[in-house]
Each structure stands twice: as C-alpha cells, then as structure tokens.
Amino acid sequence: MILVLGGTSDSLEICSELNKIFNLKYTLSVTTEYGRDLALGYARNVILGKLTKDDMKKFIKENKVKQIIDATHPYAIEVSKNAIECSKESNIEYIRYERKSLIDGITYPNIYVVDTIEEACEIANQKGNNIFIGTGSKNLDKYVELIKNKKLIARVLPTSEVIKNCEDLGLNGDNIIAMKGPFSKTINMEMYKQYKIDLVITKESGVAGGFLEKVDAADILDIPVVIIKRETIDYPKVINDVKEIRNFIMI
C-alpha cells in the first residue's frame, strides 16, 4: 500500500500515473470535502481529514503502508515534516513531489520577495490601498488583522464554507472574488483593473498554481507584487516531474 498525501492538482496527476501500474494499491489523503470530490474522479481509495503525526503512524501500521508520496501544497509544511518523521520511525520510503521554484526566472523588477505573511503585510501597509490577496483563504485572518485601513480583495474557492469564513472575517461581496483557478494572464489583468488593484500578494505556487500569470499581469499594469517564499525543508528524496514518479514506486 502507498499513501499519497494530496491537496494539489499535482497529486491528482500523480494518481493518474499510479493508475497505469497494474494492481497497485494506494490511498489518497485529502483535507477538504472539495478536495475529496475532485479526488474521487482519480483515486479509488480516498480518505478525508487532517492527519496528525499519530494519525499517520496509525494508518501506516494498520494498512501496511510501505511508501509515502508527499504531494501536499508547497506551504503545508507541518504535514510534510510529520510525513518525513513518520517514514523514518516506520522505516518506509518517503518521496516528495515539489513544484520547481519560478522566482529566479522572473524579470519584472517591481517585486518584493519575503519569507512570511507578516513581512508581506508590512509592505502592503506601506505601499498599497486596494490589495489583491492571491494566496487563497487559509490565512486570510492574518491579512485582515495585520493590514489596516486598506481595501482587501481576496480571491478564494467558490465553496459555501470558504465564503462563510470570509464573511466571518468581515469581508463582503466587495472584497471577495469566488472563482476556481488557475487563471490566465488576461483574466488576472481584468480583475486587477476591475478592482483598481495597486498591490498583489501571492505565494510561490508554481506553474500549476498560475503563479507566473499573476506576476505577468501585474508587470503589464505596473503593479508591485509581494511574493511569499516557500519554507526550505531538507527532503530525503525529491522529484520535480510527475512522470518520474513511476520510476520510484515500490511494487
């Protein structure tokens, strides 16, 4: 049995590759109902819920897991750390699928690369008025708390749970763009113009997350972009190409 830790479009592509291997058994773990709905179109066995380290160790033992494929979001750091520890303690193999960083290839000079949300908010307070939050809904509470007397425009998934969370934070229809991405450069440009955006905050989400399209749209409109870097982890084994995964599978 292989445990695939999902939560990204990449994890679904990995499942597609695993499905090509005859008689291979694997389980895909996701953390949201939306993720589960998507996953059911790819994986036969899907479990829903956030796995703590103890949960993961129990699942590994009960299901005789011999390999972990970590395809969680690049910013889901704690899950990856737990998975690495579980693999070592259970003496099984851990493989990390990591989207390649695109920051070094950006030629647009009007960017600010930071390590934390707090640093991003400091820059937003100094340089923006209509601020586009392109990092999803997970840490919106921090932006609302730390960015003062500015208009926030948050682009989030169009689910009732996410929209309710936005409303609970005091955001309303003028602050919420509820759409599923990734988005083209043109769509990003139109959104920036529609909401009179003068600062963009994004994560280094990679090609699959539409990262470059957000930056390229800002480049054309001369809007500054704050990029929150990924935390660096010393992964035991990393691949950057989904198709490589079949070369490392333990049958």
3-state secondary structure of 58: helix
Residue 140 sits in a domain of what CATH number?
A: 3.40.50
Q: What pLDDT, in 10s, does the model give residues 131-165?
A: 999 998 889 999 999 999 999 999 999 999 999 99
Residue 39 sits in a domain of what CATH number?
A: 3.40.50.720
Domain count, the chain: 2
Mean pLDDT of the chain: 92
Q: Which residue has the higher pLDDT, 207 or 3?
A: 3
Full residue range of the structural domain in which residue 177 is found: 103-228
Q: What pLDDT, in 10s, does the model give residues 208-230?
A: 678 899 999 999 999 999 999 98
* Structure token pair of residue 49: 């819920």
Per DSSP, 183 falls in state: -
Paired residues of 247 in beta bridges: none
What per-residue confidence (pLDDT) applies to 207? 64
**pTM for the full predicted model:** 0.73
Q: What pLDDT, in 10s, does the model give residues 30-63?
A: 988 888 998 999 999 999 998 999 999 999 999 9
Q: Indicate if 63 and 178 belong to the same structural domain.
A: no
* Residues 6 or more apart in contact with residue 241 via CB below 8 angstroms: none
Contact status, residue 111 vs residue 134, Cβ threshold 8 Å? no
Q: Indicate if 213 and 168 belong to the same structural domain.
A: yes
The residue to which tokens 């763009």 are assigned? 177
Q: Indicate if 172 and 202 belong to the same structural domain.
A: yes
Total residue length of the chain: 251
Distance separating alpha carbons of residues 178 and 163, to the nearest angstrom: 8
Q: Indicate if 217 and 238 belong to the same structural domain.
A: no
Q: Indicate if 240 and 200 belong to the same structural domain.
A: no
